[in-house]
Chains A and B, each alone.
Chain A
Amino acid sequence: MSAVDDTNIDEILESEFKTPYAQRMMIHTLTFLVLIGGWELASFLGYLNELIMPPPSWIAFRLYEMFFVTGSIYWHFFVTMFEATFGFIIGVSIGLSLAITAAISPVFRRYWAPYAVVFNVTPGIALAPFIIAWFGFGWSSKIALAALNAFFPVFINVLTGLLFVDKDMTELFNSLRANRRQYFWKLQIPSSLPITIAGLKLGMTTALIGAIVAEFFSATEGVGILMQRFAFRLNMDGAFATLINMSLMGLTLFTIMEYMDYKVLFWRRHKRMEEVSAKRKARWTMD
Chain B
Amino acid sequence: MSVEASTRLGTGYTGSLSAALVKHLIIFAVFLTIWEMANRTGIADPLLMPRPTDIVQSIWRIYVTQGNVWLHLWITFQEAMLGCAAGIVIGVSLGVAAVLSDSFRDFLKPYVILIECTPRIAVGPIFVAWMGFGMGSKIALAALVCFFAPFVNTMTGLLGFDEESEELFRSMGATRRQIFWRLMIPTAAPAMGASFKLAVGAAFGGALVAEFISAQNGMGILMARYTMSLNMPSAFAGLLSITLYGFILFRMTEYLDYRALYWRDDDLMAKKSLKRKAKWERTMG
> Which of A's residues lie within 8 Å of B, judged by CB?
1-7, 9-10, 12-13, 15-17, 24, 27-28, 31, 52, 106, 109-111, 113-114, 116-130, 132-134, 156-157, 159-161, 163-164, 195, 198-199, 205, 208-209, 212-213, 216-217, 223-224, 227-228, 230-232, 234, 236, 239-240, 243, 246-247, 250-251, 253-254
Does B174 belong to the interface (CB within 8 Å)? no
A5 to B160, CA, bound (A): 13
Which of B36-44, B240-248, B276-284 binds A?
B240-248
List the B residue with the shortest CB-CB distance to A134: B48
Across the interface, A130 reaches (CB within 8 A) one of B128, B201, B239, namely B239
CB-contacts of B182-227 with A (<8 A)? 191, 194, 198, 201-202, 204-205, 208-209, 212-213, 220, 223-224, 226-227
Are A236 and B129 in touch, CB under 8 angstroms? yes
Told that A129-B212, A227-B125, A243-B126 touch, could you supply 15 new A-B pairs with CB distance under 8 A? A9-B112, A12-B155, A13-B112, A15-B159, A28-B107, A121-B243, A124-B205, A125-B121, A125-B205, A133-B228, A156-B1, A213-B212, A231-B129, A246-B118, A246-B122
Which of A1, A106, A223 gathers most chain B CB within 10 Å? Answer: A1
A31→B111 CA distance, assembly (Å): 12
Q: Which residues of B contact A31 (CB under 8 A)?
A: 107
Taking the complex as formed, is B7 at the interface, i.e. its CB lies under 8 A from any CB of chain A?
Answer: yes
Please tell me if the beta carbons of A7 and B156 are within 8 angstroms of each other in the complex.
yes
| B227: contacting residue among A120, A129, A164, CB under 8 A | A129
Inter-chain contact total with CB atoms closer than 8 Å: 194
**CB neighbours of B230 from chain A (8 A):** 133
In contact, B212 and A128 (Cβ under 8 angstroms): yes
A interface, by DSSP: helix, strand, loop or mixed?
helix
Contact B246 A232 (CB under 8 A): no
Main secondary structure of the interface of B (DSSP, over half): helix
B235 at the A/B interface (Cβ < 8 Å)? yes
Across the interface, A121 reaches (CB within 8 A) one of B1, B107, B119, B201, namely B201
Contact call A123/B201, Cβ cutoff below 8 A? yes
